[in-house]
Structure 1
Amino acid sequence: MTTVDNAVRGAATPSEPEVTPAVLIERARAMVPALVARQHETEQRSYYAEDTHQAFRDAGFYRVTVPKRYGGYEFGFDTFLQIVMTLTRACASTGWMYCLGAAHSLFVGSMFGEKAQAEVFSAGDFIAPLVNAPHGTARRAEDGGWILDGVWRYCSGAPYATHLIGNTVIVDEDGEAGGEDGEDGEQVGPPRQLLFIAPRDQWEMLDDWGGQLGLKGSGSHSIRITGGRIPEHFGIEVNFEEISVTEGTPGRDLHEHPQYGGAPASSMALEGGHIAVGMCQGALDAYTELMFTRTTILPPFGPRAEDPDFLLWYGKASGMIDAAETLVLAASRRWQELAAQPVGAFTAEEDLRIAIAVREAADLAWRAVDEILQPTAGSPSVREGTRLERVWRDLSTGRTHVSSAVLLTTLANRVYAQLRLMRVRP
């Protein structure tokens, strides 16, 4: 166990009764200068500092979408995403780690039952990486609960996490995995999976993050569970990709805010889209400084801010990033609107439609950095340790995430096309 593993998490405190979403977003903006200044040390540590974590706690950032009944703010998911984009603009590693640790109070508040929610949200603040690919195994305990074993990788947010949300394969006493029972009693189909929540005292964080190209400070450490025990109500027997909200969710019945009935696939795409746009805004901030501090390479060697070519490049890149921001904000509003409609409105087609739109926004913002800002900044401006170099590394690494690089570019397109054509078929 690390020092962070043994840190005192603190007791639950009531949410500030008078606070508003605008106040929380302004608190995030006030932290930007310090986060920009501490990017190098964040990378060296592999996660953001204890005092930054405490500042986030004091600001209420870990309970933005925690339901009110458990001491949270129950603000809209769009408020959370704007905080994410602000923090990521300052420090990509910090924003990534915060987002992928704190976002999943929305998921738990939607998908798990009342008994599980009351227990996992008991401390008020909630931080839980979510690994949707199945790893390890789960077998039934004598008391009806579950025994977990395995290693879950890329657990962004692990250093200060209160829980882990993971997926695993269900096995029998002999360690054999099987699917559903067929007519002849034989097991058919893919192995059954368990979506689970494991409290901090049931796992350990491994010291295996920081050697990647980028996002070195994102706290995306692996988590190991050895004989971990969770109660039955901390597990749901479901394959993650088959989760649907068209028939309602436990959270939709439990909580006042309709967002706890929203679809999870598009909500996770929105997280990635806001992170990507925030990163690119940070790159533009760095490029803006260069417009005033660097000169052209040809006479009369004036500032770039007065050069026609640099003005053209700057305007083009700014427009692309602004367009991407407009798109992700609109997609976020669409997600909220669909969640607020009667149960059944948030179909699989609508879920994928939002996810694909967000993917296009992230791609547009990336091209502004990769094709315009980074090449024209000049070699001295992208040397190791400069802000623009770091953002480019972080963006490049972020784009290797399996959801962005594979699922949203292949499976999502095919399934969305099938669903849409099925609906409009003459």
Structure 2
Amino acid sequence: MNDFPNPTQASRVDTADAPGRHSPVASAPELSKLMERAMEISEGFLRPHAQQTEEARRVSDEATALFREAGFFRLMQPARFGGYEYGFSAFVDIISELGRGCPSSAWGCSLGSVHQWLLGTFPAQAQEDVWGTNPDAIVCGSYAPTVKAERVQDGYVVAGRWHWASNIDNSQWALIGVQFAPDDETPVPHAGFLLVPREQWTIHDDWFTAGQAGTGSKAVEIKVPTLVPAHRKLTFAQASSNLPPGAAVNTNPLYRIPFLSALPVCLVSPILGAAQGAIDAFLAAAGSRVTRGAVAGGGSRLAEFFPVQSRVAEASAMIDAARLLIYRDVAEVERLALAGQEIDVDTRIRNRLDHAFAARLARDSINAIFDNTGGNGLALSQPIQRLWRDGNAIAKHISLNWDAVSSMAGQHLLGLEAKGQY
């Protein structure tokens, strides 16, 4: 049988001083300043415009401009292209704060920001292609390798449709998942990514959803066979290694972290913020709200009901536990990478389990709050119902699916072959 890292040792990780909360770039702004800006944007723009974002079914140009001006897309971008090279700990801080105001907008910023890190693991020429003339370029992505890439002399030819490319409206490049035929380096069929510029694909608008509607997670469509140069390829095996191609030019240990060890926090961070946002909104209303009580209990302050008190406490405990799991895991991964140590399978699968469990805790936290809102909370103008729909939508993401991830972790603990994403 296998085991996860010793929980007693793991609990000693000082997450407040995690390596990822420090930038090696002298010109980078302090994390405290970035957090101040995140709070201002979340409270001053995202929350007041959350309903409009949902109705527009995309992250707005205005929000994207605020994210760019604040430096959020530079957070994990390589320094040689103007990035700050902060790590995942800082990333969770920023994105979860944005999620308090609008989970959809936070999701768009999250994917745009984390893909700067992932692009930093690609071959150097691919990074030059994207950022050489436009260091502000951001990338959307559709990971599922549902299309076959045909090998030709100069690269790969692809055509097809890739679903659920979040924040596609604001992106200049697309990261698409494909299946590669066997080659000299990998003698079996294998999956990976290709990078394609905006002028070579179109947006297929098929994003009509009950939750996370504002993420603009529409499809990338390449209608005619299109050549992608070979240097814009990154296999899943390379991305999952401790030494991807980009590590040769981006020497910060950040770019040696296997992508599934930490990248899924880009999906968890918005729901952490959504849960805290639901608690915030409920506490702001509960202090003054008086129940109508058509049958009984009319005229009483909502805050005085025992079930309300209990559920608020439960919701707070669940989001606190979810945050502790995620912060512990990313801090540990950052420390291992900094020390040049391998991030082993036990740690990878433990982290994947925690990604799914933290999302589940955050969802349950939102549900506990929503159960207390009453009829008034159903109005589309009320934030809690939107946070409830967005939070439940996030928890259904395939990478956070509890049945899939927990069964994979259970297989590993029982000494069986672990089947899944790790």
TM-score for both structures, normalised by structure 1:
0.83
Taking the aligned partners of 2:232 and 2:147, their CA distance within structure 1 comes to: 16
Alignment of 1:281 onto 2:251: no
| Equivalent pair of 2:359/2:400 in contact (CA under 8 Å) | no
- Amino acid across the alignment from 2:59: Y
Higher RCO structure (Cα 8 Å, ≥6 apart): 2
Taking the aligned partners of 1:417 and 1:281, their CA distance within structure 2 comes to: 35
Q: State the partner residue of 1:390.
A: 386
| Aligned counterpart in structure 1 of residue 119 of structure 2, from 83, 108, 121 | 108
Alignment of 1:268 onto 2:233: no
What secondary structure does 2:139 align onto? coil
Q: State the partner residue of 2:102.
A: 91
Shift of 1:325: 1.8
Q: State the partner residue of 1:200.
A: 198
> Given the superposition, is the C-alpha separation of residues 243 and 415 from structure 1 closer, same or farther in structure 2, using an over 3 Å criterion?
farther
Shift of 1:243: 4.7
| Equivalent pair of 2:157/2:227 in contact (CA under 8 Å) | yes
- Amino acid across the alignment from 1:199: P
Structure 2 spans left out of the alignment, 5+ residues: 1-24
Q: Deviations over 1:213-239 (max 9, x none)?
A: 111100101010132222110013x3x
Q: State the partner residue of 1:363.
A: 360
Taking the aligned partners of 2:237 and 2:99, their CA distance within structure 1 comes to: 28
Alignment of 1:240-389 (within 5 A): 240=236, 243-246=239-242, 248-296=243-291, 297=293, 298-299=296-297, 301-343=299-341, 345-370=342-367, 372-389=368-385
| Aligned counterpart in structure 1 of residue 168 of structure 2, from 144, 154, 158 | 158
| Equivalent pair of 2:59/2:167 in contact (CA under 8 Å) | no
| Equivalent pair of 1:349/1:420 in contact (CA under 8 Å) | no
- Amino acid across the alignment from 2:211: G
Taking the aligned partners of 1:62 and 1:85, their CA distance within structure 2 comes to: 15
What secondary structure does 2:366 align onto? helix
Taking the aligned partners of 1:150 and 1:139, their CA distance within structure 2 comes to: 12
Q: State the partner residue of 1:400.
A: 396
Taking the aligned partners of 1:24 and 1:400, their CA distance within structure 2 comes to: 30
- Amino acid across the alignment from 2:41: M
> Given the superposition, is the C-alpha separation of residues 100 and 377 from structure 1 closer, same or farther in structure 2, using an over 3 Å criterion?
same
Determine what percentage of the aligned residue pairs are the same residue. Answer: 27
Alignment of 1:70 onto 2:81: yes
State which drifts further: 198-207 or 408-417. Answer: 408-417
- Amino acid across the alignment from 1:260: Y
Q: State the partner residue of 1:31.
A: 41
> Given the superposition, is the C-alpha separation of residues 244 and 58 from structure 1 closer, same or farther in structure 2, using an over 3 Å criterion?
closer
> Given the superposition, is the C-alpha separation of residues 167 and 18 from structure 1 closer, same or farther in structure 2, using an over 3 Å criterion?
closer
| Aligned counterpart in structure 1 of residue 31 of structure 2, from 8, 11, 21 | 21
> Given the superposition, is the C-alpha separation of residues 407 and 105 from structure 1 closer, same or farther in structure 2, using an over 3 Å criterion?
farther
> Given the superposition, is the C-alpha separation of residues 270 and 420 from structure 1 closer, same or farther in structure 2, using an over 3 Å criterion?
farther
Taking the aligned partners of 1:418 and 1:119, their CA distance within structure 2 comes to: 44
Shift of 1:17: 1.8
| Equivalent pair of 1:66/1:126 in contact (CA under 8 Å) | no
Taking the aligned partners of 2:33 and 2:335, their CA distance within structure 1 comes to: 23
What secondary structure does 1:131 align onto? strand
- Amino acid across the alignment from 1:386: Q
> Given the superposition, is the C-alpha separation of residues 313 and 199 from structure 1 closer, same or farther in structure 2, using an over 3 Å criterion?
same
Taking the aligned partners of 2:330 and 2:400, their CA distance within structure 1 comes to: 17
Shift of 1:301: 2.4
Q: Deviations over 1:349-386 (max 9, x none)?
A: 2111112123222212222222x211122122123342
State which drifts further: 284-293 or 153-162. Answer: 284-293
What secondary structure does 2:321 align onto? helix
| Equivalent pair of 2:360/2:395 in contact (CA under 8 Å) | no
> Given the superposition, is the C-alpha separation of residues 325 and 374 from structure 1 closer, same or farther in structure 2, using an over 3 Å criterion?
same
Taking the aligned partners of 1:56 and 1:300, their CA distance within structure 2 comes to: 45
| Equivalent pair of 2:157/2:226 in contact (CA under 8 Å) | yes
Aligned residues: 386
Structure 1 spans left out of the alignment, 5+ residues: 1-14, 171-177, 182-187, 422-426
| Equivalent pair of 1:202/1:229 in contact (CA under 8 Å) | no
Shift of 1:241: 6.6
What secondary structure does 2:159 align onto? strand
Shift of 1:194: 4.2
State which drifts further: 408-417 or 385-394. Answer: 408-417
> Given the superposition, is the C-alpha separation of residues 381 and 329 from structure 1 closer, same or farther in structure 2, using an over 3 Å criterion?
same
- Amino acid across the alignment from 1:395: G
| Aligned counterpart in structure 2 of residue 45 of structure 1, from 48, 56, 60 | 56
| Aligned counterpart in structure 1 of residue 68 of structure 2, from 34, 37, 57 | 57
What secondary structure does 2:371 align onto? helix
TM-score for both structures, normalised by structure 2:
0.84
| Equivalent pair of 1:78/1:333 in contact (CA under 8 Å) | yes
Taking the aligned partners of 2:158 and 2:270, their CA distance within structure 1 comes to: 31
